[in-house]
Amino acid sequence: MHALILAILIPFLAAAIIPFIHNRLKKLNLGWLVIVIPLLLFAFFVYQIPVISSGETVSAMLNWIPSYGINFIVYLDGLSLILALLITGMGSLVVLYSIYYLSSTDSLPHFYAYLLLFMGAMLGVVLSDNLLVLYVFWELTSISSFLLIAFWYHRKNSRYGAQKSLLITVFGGFGMLAGFLMLYAISGTFSIRELVASAGQYTDHALFYPALFLVLLGAFTKSAQFPFHIWLPDAMEAPTPVSAYLHSATMVKAGIYLVARFTPVFGGTSAWFWTVTLVGLITLFWGAFCAIRQTDLKALLAYSTVSQLGLIMSLFGLGSAALYFGDGEQGAFYGLATFAALFHLVNHSTFKGALFMVIGIVDHQVGTRDIRRLGGLIAVLPITFTFAVIGSFSMAGLPLFNGFLSKEMFFTASLRAANLPVFSADTWGWIIPVIAWTASVLTFVYCMILVFRTFLGPKQSKKPEKNIVEPPLGMLISPAILSLLIVGLFFVPNLLGDHLLKPALGAVLPNITDAAPHISAWHGFNTELLMTIGIIVFGSLLFATVRYWRKIYNYLPDGWTFNNLYNQILAKTEKNSGTITSAYMTGHLPHYFTYIFGFFILVTGGTLLLSGALSFDSSEDAPVTTYDFMLAIAMMVAAIAIPFAKSRLTATLLNGMLGYSIAIFFVLFRAPDLALTQLVIETVTTVLFLLCFYYLPDWKKEASPRGVKIRNAVIAIASGLTVTLIGLSVNSFDSFDSISSFYEDSYELAGGNNIVNSILGDFRAFDTMLESLVLFIAGLGVFTLIRLKAKKEEPNDEDQ
| pLDDT tens profile 275-299 | 999 999 999 999 999 999 999 999 9
Q: Are residues 608 and 517 part of one domain?
A: no
Residue 227: asked if its preceding bond is cis (omega within 30°), the reply is yes
pLDDT on residue 702:
62
Give the CA distances from residue 772 to residues 75, 394, 525, 761, 782, in Å, rounded to whole numbers and listed in that order: 37, 58, 74, 15, 15
Q: Are residues 405 and 282 part of one domain?
A: yes
Strand partners, 130: 191
Q: Are residues 742 and 726 part of one domain?
A: no
- The answer to the question of residue 403 being in a domain is yes
Average pLDDT over residues 61-71: 80
Domain total for the chain?
3
- The answer to the question of residue 217 being in a domain is no
pLDDT on residue 109:
92
Answer for the pair 310, 255: CB distance below 8 angstroms, yes or no. no
Asked whether the predicted pLDDT for residue 461 surpasses 60, the reply is no
**What range does the domain containing 702 cover?**
590-737
Q: Are residues 331 and 478 part of one domain?
A: yes
- The answer to the question of residue 287 being in a domain is yes
Boundary residue ending a domain (544, 570, 598): 544
Average pLDDT over residues 82-103: 95
Angle at 336 between CA 335 and CA 340, to 5 degrees: 125
Strand partners, 474: none
pLDDT on residue 795:
47
| Among candidate residues 126, 123, 128, 163, the one with its CA nearest the CA of residue 145 | 163
Query: Which phi and psi angles does 565 have, rounded to 5°?
Result: -65, -45
Q: Are residues 427 and 513 part of one domain?
A: yes
Task: Give the Cα separation of 456 and 450 in Å (integer).
Answer: 10
Answer for the pair 629, 644: CB distance below 8 angstroms, yes or no. no
- The answer to the question of residue 370 being in a domain is yes
Q: DSSP of 279-321, one letter per residue?
A: HHHHHHHHHHHHHHT--BHHHHHHHHHHHHHHHHHHHHHHHTT
pTM of the full structure: 0.84
E strand or H helix at 389: helix 382-396
- The answer to the question of residue 339 being in a domain is yes
Radius of gyration, alpha carbons of the chain:
33
Q: Which of 633 and 690 is assigned the larger pLDDT?
A: 633
**Which sign, positive or negative, has the C-alpha torsion 724, 730, 733, 735?**
positive
Give the CA distances from residue 271 to residues 133, 276, 699, in Å, rounded to whole numbers and listed in that order: 27, 8, 71
Asked whether the predicted pLDDT for residue 463 surpasses 60, the reply is no
pLDDT on residue 724:
87
Answer for the pair 387, 354: CB distance below 8 angstroms, yes or no. yes
Asked whether the predicted pLDDT for residue 789 surpasses 90, the reply is no
pLDDT on residue 384:
95
Q: What is the largest CA-CA distance in the chain?
A: 107
pLDDT on residue 466:
65
Answer for the pair 190, 184: CB distance below 8 angstroms, yes or no. yes
Q: Are residues 758 and 658 part of one domain?
A: no
Q: Which of 244-248, 300-304, 388-392 is the least confident region?
A: 244-248
For all residues of the chain together, what is the average pLDDT?
89
Q: Are residues 489 and 621 part of one domain?
A: no
| Packing angle of the helix pair 36-47, 78-101 (nearest 10 deg) | 160
Q: Are residues 537 and 670 part of one domain?
A: no
What's the one-letter identity of residue 598? G
- The per-residue pLDDT for range 249-259, each reduced to its tens digit, is 788 999 999 99
- The per-residue pLDDT for range 525-554, each reduced to its tens digit, is 889 999 999 999 999 999 999 988 888 888
Asked whether the predicted pLDDT for residue 111 surpasses 60, the reply is yes
Task: Give the Cα separation of 319 and 509 in Å (integer).
Answer: 9
Residue 701: band (very low, low, confident or very high) from pLDDT cuts 50, 70, 90: low
- The answer to the question of residue 583 being in a domain is no
Asked whether the predicted pLDDT for residue 148 surpasses 50, the reply is yes
Residue 336: band (very low, low, confident or very high) from pLDDT cuts 50, 70, 90: very high
CB atoms within 10 A of CB 21: 12
Task: Give the Cα separation of 750 and 760 in Å (integer).
Answer: 11
pLDDT on residue 699:
64
Q: Are residues 753 and 703 part of one domain?
A: no
Q: Are residues 538 and 439 part of one domain?
A: yes
Answer for the pair 30, 109: CB distance below 8 angstroms, yes or no. yes
- The answer to the question of residue 330 being in a domain is yes
Q: Which of 157-171, 350-364, 690-704 is the least confident region?
A: 690-704
Boundary residue ending a domain (679, 711, 737): 737
Residue 794: band (very low, low, confident or very high) from pLDDT cuts 50, 70, 90: very low
- The answer to the question of residue 7 being in a domain is no
Task: Give the Cα separation of 631 and 565 in Å (integer).
Answer: 66
Average pLDDT over residues 34-53: 95
Q: Which of 230 and 2 is assigned the larger pLDDT?
A: 230
Task: Give the Cα separation of 521 and 295 in Å (integer).
Answer: 34
Q: Are residues 480 and 627 part of one domain?
A: no
Boundary residue ending a domain (737, 757, 779): 737
Q: Are residues 747 and 729 part of one domain?
A: no
Average pLDDT over residues 714-733: 85
Q: Which of 581 and 390 is assigned the larger pLDDT?
A: 390
